[in-house]
């Protein structure tokens, strides 16, 4: 699994983050590797919600050959961390 964390409270950084993510996922050997995208800092306002992250990071184009999940989280307040851990556990059991 590739875990990619983006600062969802900094929309100016999203274009560069999108380029980095797409560059990483285009590397040989990662074609079918599951991708978990975490939009951190959902405790701050404003921040990008999951739907906006999916759109602005163009995640649909990365989901063609792999499982992909995107969650809005806060590592500070531990928002949505349980669902992230469940997703990771489910994928660890597959291998």
Is 40 annotated in some ligand binding site? yes
Is 41 annotated in some ligand binding site? yes
Q: How far is CA 80 from the centre of its chain?
A: 13
CA angle 85, 86, 91 (to 5 degrees): 100
How far apart (Å, rounded) are the C-alpha atoms in residues 23 and 89?
26
Is 43 annotated in some ligand binding site? yes
Could you tell me which residues are annotated as the binding site for GTP? 40-43
Could you tell me which residues are annotated as the binding site? 40-43
């Amino acid at each position: 699994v590739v875990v990619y964390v983006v600062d969802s409270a900094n929309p100016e950084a999203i274009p560069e983050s999108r380029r980095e993510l797409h560059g990483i996922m285009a590397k040989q050997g990662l074609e079918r590797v599951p991708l978990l995208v975490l939009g951190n800092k959902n405790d701050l306002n404003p921040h990008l919600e999951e739907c906006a992250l999916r759109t602005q990071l163009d995640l649909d184009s990365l989901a063609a050959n792999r499982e992909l999940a995107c969650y809005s989280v806060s590592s500070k307040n531990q928002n949505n961390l349980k669902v992230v851990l469940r997703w990771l556990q489910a994928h660890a059991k597959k291998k």
